[in-house]
Structure 1
Amino acid sequence: MKILYIIIILLEAVYLGNSLNILVVFSMPARSHFILGNSLARGLVEAGHDVTIVSPFEDKNPPKDGKYTSVKLEGMKETMESIDQNVNMFDLFDMNPFIFIPFMNFMGNVITNATLTNANFKKLVNSDQKFDVVVIEQFNNDALRVLACHYQAPLVMFSSVGASSWVNSLVGNPSPPSYIPDMFLSYTRNMNIWQRSVNVLMYLSKELSHRFFFTPAQNELARKHFPKCVDENGPITDVSLLLLNSHESVDDPVPYVPNMVNIGGYHVNPPKSLPKDLQEFCDNAKDGVIYFSMGSNLKPSDMSQDSKQAILSALGKLKQKVLWKWDEDHLPGKPENVKIGKWFPQQDILAHPNVKLFITHGGLLSKTETIYHGVPILAIPVFGDQKMNSAKAVAAGYGLSLSIKELNEEKLSNILNELLHNSKYRDNAKRRSAIMHDRKVKPMDLATYWIEFVVRHKGAPHLRVAALDLTWYQYFLVDIVLLVGAVVASLMLASYLLLKNLCCPRKTSEKIKKN
């Protein structure tokens, strides 16, 4: 018995010796971002690490073993809601995608400043707490990278939208605009010449805006709060690892440098039993169930009256039952086959075998979850990356898209009938689901391994590509082009002068003879 006790003590010592103290910062005041951050934090806790998560939200049922600590950014959510209440998000559908650049930069500066000045955040960074690694969601909050310098720890960045212009430059990842569309555009990888032209303009606009406006503002915020961790180039830090909320089953294949890792789908949990009323609702739906949700940021009640009436009329004609995530207690004109609720366990509903279709706004989390469970979609995109996500779903053949601007009863009914009665959409969704599930390693285990890896190898500088050491004109070979151009121009000039000298003396001698 004594020997067994000693063995247990030794095993605990080894276990604790491998435990890391990890800081996870997801400061975006949006519920979908917290889902990603909290899922990552909980997964790291389950792997045996101590995690402190900084977010405007809190987990209502946190892990009980004491390894999970929440630092709530009080007031952040309310600040965002005060901004949102003056904006009908459905009006953003018609916004020019180029206008999103300054809009997102403005929001990024507001949220970053609110984070750095938050009382709970300042209490954390002014304490004597140490961290072995810092994990930050990159979402127009470049100044927060100073935390890696402050804690003298490796920096892991997380991209909630996969590889994009927001994160590629952090690790020197190539992103050819010839076949990689910007996330604010509704293009797929098969772009025509006009679309590629617009895409190039979007890339250039983002780069110029970030270089001359957004980055200086973020550097100033970082310098104000952490002056010792900022030089003339900005926060003093290198990105050791970039975790991407993407996967080949959801996104197009694109280039990745060695320290970029796909973990898309890590937040999806094994399905649980539904609450009794929902279980009965779905079980008794002999013709199937349609699940309808516009995500956590959009309020369906803000849709125009014409759009709401068109949806109600089209849904009321269906044999299928409908679960509609609705933000108010009542829905005037609700058909008998429609059940509303302010919240539904989305993942568990999509896992039910009677669910035939998912009507969605095209958010990346919803798209990932529907592919995980093999359910086709009808996308009604509104803003941000939703249009591109929807276009990719159509191109991949597991869904159709309908513009909120063109939504009417006839069009909606035709699309619903096509999706419900043409098996190709469900077959393609199942095919994509099989790809997502065909993994050697679970995505959360992969994230845990790589976070531990960069700590073990002191930031893993051997994964850092040389592109990060080049200026923009060196990276794009502008200096080589200018050098070659100068050489060619010199040779042409020398040839011209040589020919001139060979030809001109003859003309001169001929003039002398004539005289």
Structure 2
Amino acid sequence: MKGLALHGHEVVVITTDPMRDSSVKNYTEFDVSFTYKMYNEKFNFASSRDNKVSNEKLFEIFLDFGNDLCEGILSHPPVNNLISLNNTEEHFDIVFLEWLLTPCVYAFAHRFSAPMIGIASFLGFGVGRDSVGSPNLPAYSPEVFLSYSDHMSFLERVHSVWFLLWQKYHFYYTVLPWGSAHSTKHALPDDQLYLPQSSSLRSSSGPAR
């Protein structure tokens, strides 16, 4: 984003890690680092593993946290002012988003009638693959939340398929409806347009093996 600003583009960034570098012109940051505290209060992966919390339950918490994250970001006053329908001066040519499990922020692209590019720092989850039209083959390539290798036993393959089906059910019937309601609450378009919104994806972690 800094590179775009240095090349003369007007850039607005909503970030957990602001640069706070006033020497960069045409660059506006909205600091949402408070979401780190939200994350730390919600998750303790080591404790969950020690207490043998199931992968399904752990992932359910992870998915539901995406909604908490959305609400925290959309309610943040600078962000809320940015997306307000009363703010008719803002225009964006493109929207970059962290492509993960917070589909309500996809509505930013619709709010500003701009194309969206999703960027992922690790392999996508099954429901994320749906959003870019990538096929899911859980019996061949295990879900990233599972610890299986690419040489799964028959029962591991069955569990991987089950995990994906459960994930889809919870996401489409719990996470998306909640996110949709909160998007419209903040005057954003309905994020149920989840599937066609992710028009481009580049993952830095490479293909699954």
TM-score if structure 1 supplies the norm length? 0.37
Q: Which residue of 2 aligns with 1:384?
A: none
Indicate conservation of the 8 Å contact 2:127/2:168, yes or no: no
**Corresponding residue SS for 1:131:** coil
Call closer, same or farther: CA 1:42–1:179 in 2, change over 3 Å. farther
Residue 75 (structure 2) pairs with residue 117 (structure 1): yes
In the alignment, the residues of structure 2 paired with residue 98 and residue 236 of structure 1 have an alpha-carbon distance, to the nearest angstrom, of 23
After superposition, the C-alpha distances for 1:77-132 in whole angstroms (9 at most, x for unaligned) are 34334x15xx6442122321111232112211111111111111112223422110
* 1:410-421 equivalence runs, <5 A: none
Call closer, same or farther: CA 1:134–1:151 in 2, change over 3 Å. same
Residue 12 (structure 2) pairs with residue 52 (structure 1): yes
Call closer, same or farther: CA 1:43–1:174 in 2, change over 3 Å. farther
Indicate conservation of the 8 Å contact 2:132/2:196, yes or no: no
The aligned amino acid for 1:241 is S
* 1:82-101 equivalence runs, <5 A: 83-84=41-42, 88-93=44-49, 94-101=52-59
Indicate conservation of the 8 Å contact 1:149/1:237, yes or no: no
Identify which of 190, 206, 209 aligns with 1:247: 206
Q: Which residue of 1 aligns with 2:31?
A: 72
In the alignment, the residues of structure 1 paired with residue 195 and residue 129 of structure 2 have an alpha-carbon distance, to the nearest angstrom, of 18
The aligned amino acid for 1:213 is T
Task: Please state how far the C-alpha of 1:245 moved relative to its aligned partner.
Answer: 2.2
Higher RCO structure (Cα 8 Å, ≥6 apart)? 2
Task: Please state how far the C-alpha of 1:64 moved relative to its aligned partner.
Answer: 2.5
In the alignment, the residues of structure 2 paired with residue 209 and residue 236 of structure 1 have an alpha-carbon distance, to the nearest angstrom, of 16
Q: CA RMSD in A?
A: 2.4
* 1:200-279 equivalence runs, <5 A: 200-226=161-187, 229-230=189-190, 233-234=192-193, 238-247=197-206, 251-252=208-209
**Corresponding residue SS for 1:111:** helix
After superposition, the C-alpha distances for 1:461-498 in whole angstroms (9 at most, x for unaligned) are xxxxxxxxxxxxxxxxxxxxxxxxxxxxxxxxxxxxxx
In the alignment, the residues of structure 1 paired with residue 91 and residue 135 of structure 2 have an alpha-carbon distance, to the nearest angstrom, of 34
The aligned amino acid for 2:29 is S
Indicate conservation of the 8 Å contact 2:30/2:78, yes or no: yes
The aligned amino acid for 2:59 is I
* 1:102-501 equivalence runs, <5 A: 102-126=60-84, 127=87, 128-226=89-187, 229-230=189-190, 233-234=192-193, 238-247=197-206, 251-252=208-209
In the alignment, the residues of structure 1 paired with residue 100 and residue 204 of structure 2 have an alpha-carbon distance, to the nearest angstrom, of 13
Indicate conservation of the 8 Å contact 2:118/2:198, yes or no: yes
Indicate conservation of the 8 Å contact 1:108/1:141, yes or no: yes
Task: Please state how far the C-alpha of 1:237 moved relative to its aligned partner.
Answer: 5.8
Where structure 2 has 5 or more consecutive residues not aligned to the other structure, the ranges are none
After superposition, the C-alpha distances for 1:421-460 in whole angstroms (9 at most, x for unaligned) are xxxxxxxxxxxxxxxxxxxxxxxxxxxxxxxxxxxxxxxx
**Corresponding residue SS for 1:219:** helix
Where structure 1 has 5 or more consecutive residues not aligned to the other structure, the ranges are 1-40, 253-515
Call closer, same or farther: CA 1:247–1:147 in 2, change over 3 Å. same
Q: Which residue of 2 aligns with 1:382?
A: none
Aligned-residue identity in percent: 20
In the alignment, the residues of structure 2 paired with residue 171 and residue 102 of structure 1 have an alpha-carbon distance, to the nearest angstrom, of 22
The aligned amino acid for 1:96 is S
In the alignment, the residues of structure 2 paired with residue 163 and residue 80 of structure 1 have an alpha-carbon distance, to the nearest angstrom, of 19
Task: Please state how far the C-alpha of 1:76 moved relative to its aligned partner.
Answer: 2.9
Task: Please state how far the C-alpha of 1:234 moved relative to its aligned partner.
Answer: 4.2
Call closer, same or farther: CA 1:235–1:195 in 2, change over 3 Å. closer
The aligned amino acid for 2:32 is L
Count of matched residue pairs: 204
Call closer, same or farther: CA 1:121–1:180 in 2, change over 3 Å. same
In the alignment, the residues of structure 1 paired with residue 102 and residue 164 of structure 2 have an alpha-carbon distance, to the nearest angstrom, of 19
The aligned amino acid for 1:42 is K
